[in-house]
Structure 1
Amino acid sequence: MSNSLKTPWQRKGALLAAIALSTLAACSSHDATELIASGRNHLEKKDYRAAVIEFKNALQRDPASDEARFLLGVALMDSGDSSGALVEFNKLNTSGFDPDRLQPRLAEVMLVHGELDKVIAEFAGKKLGTPKAQAALAATLASAYGIRGKFDLALASAEASLKDDPEGLNGRLVMAQIKTLRDDPAGAMADVENAERTHPKSARPKIFKAELMGMMQGRFDASAIAQTYREGLALDPKSIQAHAGLIHLALTQKDEAAAKAQLDQLRKVYPSGAPTQYFIALLALERRELPAAVEAIQLMLKFAPDNVAGLQLAGRIAFEAGNYAQAAAHLGKALPRTTQTTQVRLLLARSLLRAGDNKMALSTLQPLINERSGVPAEAFTLAADAQVRLGEPEVAKQLYQRALTVNPQNERARSALAVVDISEGRIDQGVRVLKEVGRTSNDLQADILVASTYIESRQFERARAAIDDLEKKRPDSAAGPYLRGELALAQGDVSEATRQYEAASKKDSKDFSAVAALAALDQRAGKPEAAVARYKSYLEKNPRSLNADLAVISLAKAQGQPPSKIAADLETLVKKYPDSEFPRVALVRALLEGGDVKRAQVVGKEVQTAFPASPAALDAAGLVELVAGNHNQARQTFSQLAALQPKDAGPLLRLSQVHLANKDATGALAQLTKALTLQPGNVEVHFQMVSLLAKMGRYDRALAQARTAQTAVPASPAGWMLEGDLLNGKRDFVGAVAAYRKGLAKARVGASAVKLHRALEDAARLKEAQQFEKEWRTERPQDPVFNYYLGDRYLALGELDTSAELYRTVLKVVPKDPASLNNLAWILSQQGKPEALETAERALSAAPKSAPAFDTLAEIHSRAGRLDKAVAAQRQAADLAPNQPMMRLRLAQYLLKDKQLPAARKELEVLAGLGAKFPKQDEVKRLMGQL
């Protein structure tokens, strides 16, 4: 049995598989025989890298050399590359190579590769020619039986190994392994010490003994364990297991300096090999230096792509970095190769839940949940979380209860059930449980939930007391000031909220929630540049924050950045975060908004292929096919989404849109009805249903549905605004005013204010409209929606100065709003002001394909006598808006002024051909008369 055999406590997680680098090199000038001899020499010196190179070179010279292939497998196996070794040994297994040499090695590598059942099936009962070969095979079988919990068979195989080779090291250590698995550490120690005496020059008994000492808690201190590892290293300075043991021991003791020192020793033995990269990644993870950890583990996996320990560590690193899909990919690859399945399954399930793949998370956990005993409580809480997201709260409650049966003090399950109580109105009962959890937990989650519950229920004094308790428990945490900010905001004290959020951000520079809250306040105050600055400052300290990067782009979009620029920025994020679907999803939407449907389709297919179980990815892929007119493909994709989220109304809402695209209003209505059955409080579904019923002419039913929304979602303004829209459409302006007022009382937003003001004017209640305008502008002086609306109203009334000032107010909040810039440029042009041209150019920069912007620019050039530029700009406007004849009429006017008579005639003839469809035919005739 080689130095790379996994040690006894595979289930207890005390040892990593040996790992090492295999590298190709150019062939030397020696023939195959000399290369094999050179490789043997390197193998004896445990220089596995050099040995692998020589044996590979020998096979290049003589591909039929079974000896070179066998020794290559041995070198790969001893270096920790079990996958490579398995490939080479399997090739020999059908070539007639000496079974006494091959079969024990093949069984061993299959064991290390995690193929326990296959080892038992293929080698139980197999007879070899020599006692030593038979002993080695029996020892491997004993390990496989022991790990599978078949201790009687394991013991019989170990005894058979020792019978064939009484002094065999493999048999001695396997016997100790079995006793370890049977919780007999004292008996195991006796066997290991016997092996030490009979094999004093072997490092393996020393290393096994050190690991066993670590398991016998309280009997040996860290210094004694470390000394035993060092004795093993003295015998074998290249023992990866010994280096690994010392590094892990140092990390367990929180001695980072010792761990780094041992890693430096490992580097001397393996300067750039896989073991070194593995531990570089591990230490970087311990220090929370995630970029360095990612770089090192990626390099390690290049050398050993199937190494179980490497895959598990890569999964941990990806999870900590927030790359949940990538974490799931690594852990999913590791799971069938490891015997330590429980912890891998739990982390894999957590990764899948974070990635949104709830069904796969449940499937991953099912083997654990089905076991009758020994199931960790976390398996039940994770399964319950998945069921909650799949819309099965009752099943989730049962699973949380099972978690409490396993561990009555399980904080996650107790907190989850308390949250259920709160959500169902049993606030005092839920809070009582959360407080009990908080008193015994070092975690702050329960304490935060208590304070948040009090804030949401507007029990402000209780909230303040809960935050005081939280801060006494953890004065260093940013949670205290953040919650105080939430409390201040709930009480309407924006200044105090800002101060508290800033305090939270100073306490924890990685706390994104505080920065997001501050940015939201900046936007609310009409300071988008300040919000962007906050996110950029956060990114300087946390350069790989996807949330912050997306927030910056979202703000740029809100400030009027054109879709092409937004798409370019998102392309950059796709490269920066290749393991996340969200930049790609945002890119699809940006491309659609910019009219680049073909590119959106490409990205949509890419994100669906890369993240087939992501709801966000499926939604984006289906949406782009819907916009492209591929309705069948869209239906298939949204149906997949519905299967993935059977309790979610969102996919049904999308399917209703597919029906509408096919002019099937009845089918769309059926999907919306199903959606409301699933989620009666879904505002978007209510909105779509009311809109559809109105379009179908079912006015009374639409009005009834709007009023149903008022009851179903009483805290939302949606039902009242929908009622107002319906009444307004029927010219019942008085009824619309009443409905809009009630909606505005639920949520003070600019769009609702616009509707109320317009309805007041339509109802001829002009004084009320003027009074409301004054009140709203006093309350929300920077509201861009209401100010833009007023700008248009005053523009229509010919009050250019007032209108211009309103547009300028909008631009303070949204500096690149193309409509405000364009309208302001037109007003400035009418007023003969020189800044008109610069403002028009800004509008065009913000919206490069805007026909109105080119139209305004053309008029400015014409007024200044720059007719060539006026013609060029107006031609662009006419091309961009072919269905707006006024654009072509103005082009004809500029062409006439510029004496381009044939071109002018051509445009006028097109307009004349429209006949009654264009009411300005008198002007067309007048201009034709000037030719």
Structure 2
Amino acid sequence: LRRQDLKAARESIQAVLKVAPDFGYAQQLAGAIEYEAGALAQAVTHLTRAQQLMPESLAARQLLAQALLRAGDPAKALATLQPVLDGKAVTPALLNLAAQAWQQQGELAKAEALFKRAAALDPADSRTRVALALNQIARGDASALESLQATAADDKGTVADLALVNERMRRREFDAALQAIAALEKKTPGQALAPLLRARVQMALKQPDKARQSLEQAAQAEPANLQAATALAEFDVRDKQFDAARKRFDALLKADPKNVGALLAVARVRQAAGAPAAEVRTLLEEALRANPTEPRPRLALVEHHLAQKDTPAALTAAQEAVAAIPDNPTLLAELARVQAVAGDFNQSISSLGQVAAQRPDSVQAQLMLAEVQMAAKNFDAAVTALQRARALAPRDFTVAQRLAAAQVAAGRPEQALATARALQKEKETAVPGLVLEGDVEAAQRRGREALAAYRAALAKVPASTAVAVKVHGALLAQEPAAAPAFATKWMSEHPQDAGFLFHLSEVAGARGDHAQAEARLQEALKLRPDDPVMLNNLAYMQVLLKRPGAVATAEKANQLRPQHPYFMDTLAVALGAEKQFDRAIELQKKVVALDPKNPLWKLTLARLYLDAGQRAQARTELSALAALG
């Protein structure tokens, strides 16, 4: 292997594995040989086995994570690294790999934090210079970016390059990010890493054609790269090239028929293509049978059943998942969620208690526990869980917001106000704290106090659409005569604010002024012509106003957001309004099939049957609805 005689190395290690298949180091060495040969699927297979045989081996874990990253599966690489990231034995190399995995998933803040930890562990390493530069950048030292760039240029490794790319992307300095990626590519020839990062930047620049070219380059460099195949398949699905999307995974599955990421991706492609739910379920079950100890296919199967509103099947799948992999907090949390959906709050709370015990530092576990307690109307218990979450994340606005809501529900509005005002003491959470105070006051029907808090927030962030919407909503409730003047002034000062225009369209629609709602949506769409929600709403207003063009508008929304029941429903209604009943009814049947437990879709279908003169079919649908009570 050291001489790069991979053929001889492979023959030798296979001879060892024939007589000692459970010798962990032999599996690790086999994985290293396949990794060097670029046979990533085989490398992952050997290294996964090595890691199972030697769970304490950091070397096996590190090499497996490297192979998974090269194979384009950053999520699984993170899952491999996660158990050791907070341990005393963690190394800079392990932290650096985890940072790369977060970076590949677009989680730049998490990547930066790990790059800093990696650099701090080894003062003699060039990573120290990287950490110093990142810390200086965080403190606002502009010259530190030049230092990071110089380190990347001097260092033969890639840590500084990746950190530099990360920082440029985080700052949205995309031209500079592309230059940094070009430098990284010179150090990693023949790998998919640089083209994948370049594609991410090009997508941020709204250059999909260039991004596609970069992804094709990544796939050509590493045909078994899951990330490249998945991203290219997304392009194919957008273009309705479903067969092409499916074929993206052929090379991966030929090399590794059990590749869980590829198997799940195929199921997603078939679902996007409108395949029957039973076919998608079969694909997910095949992925599960091929990978019985892998959580992802089990989670996907549970989610599939939930999407089909088949709660009993989802509950069974979740219970089987926990039975098969009993110590996995993610699966336990999923079981708790399904139990809550099924209305079994006591069991859900019990399951979440196990999750919290396994992950005492998990904010998410406490949030989920609080959510179920709220659903069960155990408001005091929800407050307790959220207070624990807040102790773990004192500056997290979402946690404070949920805590205040629970305190209001528990009949403790003064505590909720105290929670909001505590946020206002910190500079970075002052505005959210004021907004939260307004929300608490509004919940108590203290409109004047709510308006005052929202106005105070807007004074601190005078260009915030979200806060302006709050002020306008409070004015409508408290000082309705002043609301139009506020809206007019806001739009004169912010003529490009499509979000506020959309808000005004919803206000107009709520009061039954469909012509005004249509006009506001037309204005907003001049600024955001490809916003599917705005297009969908506009199509519905056009139907109500009997305007021409509703079908074309709804079709565009469906092209931008395919297989979405609400958008499909609007298109069916628009088709019915134009008396294209056959097409409308066929489309609405698909809506019902996508979401069979939602009675609204059946009601629309019944109306379409009535309008088409098909009274018997309408009666069948209405009888089914009437039976629901």
Paired position in structure 2 for 1:627 = 341
1:551–1:292 distance in 2 versus 1, CA, 3 Å: closer
Deviations 1:574-620 (A, max 9, x none): 22433321222232233233333333233323333444554432321
Offset, 1:253: 2.3
1:624–1:460 distance in 2 versus 1, CA, 3 Å: closer
1:382-781 to 2 correspondences below 5 Å: 403-405=121-123, 408-409=124-125, 411=127, 415=130, 418-419=133-134, 421-423=136-138, 425-426=140-141, 428-429=143-144, 432-433=147-148, 435-436=150-151, 439-442=154-157, 444-460=158-174, 462-514=176-228, 527=238, 529-530=240-241, 535-543=245-253, 546-547=260-261, 549-550=263-264, 553=267, 567-679=281-393, 682=396, 684-685=398-399, 688=402, 703-704=436-437, 734=484, 754-759=502-507, 772-781=520-529
Paired position in structure 2 for 1:330 = 53
Q: TM-score, normalised by structure 1?
A: 0.50
Deviations 1:315-357 (A, max 9, x none): x2458xxxxxxx4x4323xx5xxxxx67568779999983278
Deviations 1:352-372 (A, max 9, x none): 9832785x5379x55x58xxx
Contact kept in structure 2, 1:676 and 1:682, CA below 8 Å: yes
Offset, 1:429: 2.9
Deviations 1:631-659 (A, max 9, x none): 34333433443454444432221122122
Offset, 1:540: 1.8
Deviations 1:507-527 (A, max 9, x none): 44344555555666778xxx3
- Work out which of the two has the higher radius of gyration on C-alpha atoms and give 1 or 2: 1
Residues of 2 paired with 1:440 and 1:290: CA distance?
A: 27
Deviations 1:29-60 (A, max 9, x none): xxxxxxxxxxxxxxxxxxxxxxxxxxxxxxxx
Q: CA RMSD in A?
A: 5.3
Secondary structure of 2:248's aligned partner: helix
Offset, 1:446: 2.5
Deviations 1:479-529 (A, max 9, x none): 444444444444455554444444444444344555555666778xxx362
1:715–1:409 distance in 2 versus 1, CA, 3 Å: farther
Offset, 1:794: 2.9
Offset, 1:477: 4.3
Secondary structure of 1:607's aligned partner: helix
Residues of 1 paired with 2:230 and 2:496: CA distance?
A: 24
Residues of 1 paired with 2:563 and 2:199: CA distance?
A: 31
Contact kept in structure 2, 1:560 and 1:814, CA below 8 Å: no
Secondary structure of 1:432's aligned partner: helix
1:77-92 to 2 correspondences below 5 Å: none
1:660–1:853 distance in 2 versus 1, CA, 3 Å: closer
1:877–1:769 distance in 2 versus 1, CA, 3 Å: closer
Paired position in structure 2 for 1:175 = none
- Residue 258 of structure 1: which of 5, 8, 24 is its match? 8
Contact kept in structure 1, 2:120 and 2:131, CA below 8 Å: no
Paired position in structure 1 for 2:449 = none
Secondary structure of 1:657's aligned partner: helix
Residues of 1 paired with 2:326 and 2:153: CA distance?
A: 39
When structure 1 is superposed on structure 2, of 719-728 and 606-615 the one drifting more is 719-728
Offset, 1:735: 9.3
Secondary structure of 1:635's aligned partner: helix
Residues of 1 paired with 2:151 and 2:229: CA distance?
A: 31
Deviations 1:821-873 (A, max 9, x none): 44544554565445244334434443444544444555555666655544434
Offset, 1:457: 1.8
1:180-199 to 2 correspondences below 5 Å: none
1:99-178 to 2 correspondences below 5 Å: none
Contact kept in structure 1, 2:263 and 2:283, CA below 8 Å: no
Paired position in structure 2 for 1:786 = 534
Secondary structure of 1:355's aligned partner: helix
1:488–1:782 distance in 2 versus 1, CA, 3 Å: closer
Offset, 1:737: 5.5
- Residue 812 of structure 1: which of 556, 559, 582 is its match? 559
Offset, 1:719: 6.2
Residues of 1 paired with 2:116 and 2:574: CA distance?
A: 67
Offset, 1:748: 7.2
- Residue 79 of structure 2: which of 355, 366, 370 is its match? 355
1:287 aligns with 2:34: yes
Residues of 1 paired with 2:579 and 2:53: CA distance?
A: 66
Residues of 1 paired with 2:402 and 2:143: CA distance?
A: 37
Residues of 2 paired with 1:670 and 1:727: CA distance?
A: 34
Residues of 1 paired with 2:350 and 2:458: CA distance?
A: 34
Residues of 2 paired with 1:745 and 1:765: CA distance?
A: 22
Q: TM-score, normalised by structure 2?
A: 0.70
Paired position in structure 1 for 2:104 = none
Offset, 1:536: 2.8
Show structure 1 runs of 5+ residues with no match: 1-250, 296-313, 320-326, 336-340, 370-375, 884-931
Residues of 2 paired with 1:447 and 1:680: CA distance?
A: 33
Contact kept in structure 1, 2:329 and 2:358, CA below 8 Å: yes
Offset, 1:450: 0.8
Deviations 1:783-806 (A, max 9, x none): 33222222332333344x443333
Q: Aligned pairs, how many? A: 568
Contact kept in structure 2, 1:501 and 1:518, CA below 8 Å: yes
Contact kept in structure 2, 1:383 and 1:399, CA below 8 Å: no
1:511–1:383 distance in 2 versus 1, CA, 3 Å: closer
- Residue 626 of structure 2: which of 865, 878, 881 is its match? 878
Residues of 2 paired with 1:476 and 1:392: CA distance?
A: 27
Contact kept in structure 1, 2:92 and 2:117, CA below 8 Å: no
Offset, 1:455: 3.3
1:261–1:787 distance in 2 versus 1, CA, 3 Å: closer
Residues of 1 paired with 2:110 and 2:196: CA distance?
A: 32
Contact kept in structure 2, 1:784 and 1:810, CA below 8 Å: yes
Amino acid at match of 1:704: E
Show structure 2 runs of 5+ residues with no match: 69-75, 101-106, 421-434, 440-453
Identity across matched positions, percent: 23
Deviations 1:101-158 (A, max 9, x none): xxxxxxxxxxxxxxxxxxxxxxxxxxxxxxxxxxxxxxxxxxxxxxxxxxxxxxxxxx
Offset, 1:660: 0.7
1:547–1:277 distance in 2 versus 1, CA, 3 Å: same
1:584–1:429 distance in 2 versus 1, CA, 3 Å: same
Contact kept in structure 2, 1:563 and 1:591, CA below 8 Å: no
Secondary structure of 2:151's aligned partner: helix
Amino acid at match of 2:53: H
1:685–1:356 distance in 2 versus 1, CA, 3 Å: farther
Residues of 2 paired with 1:488 and 1:382: CA distance?
A: 24
Residues of 2 paired with 1:813 and 1:737: CA distance?
A: 30
1:438–1:596 distance in 2 versus 1, CA, 3 Å: farther
Contact kept in structure 2, 1:822 and 1:840, CA below 8 Å: yes
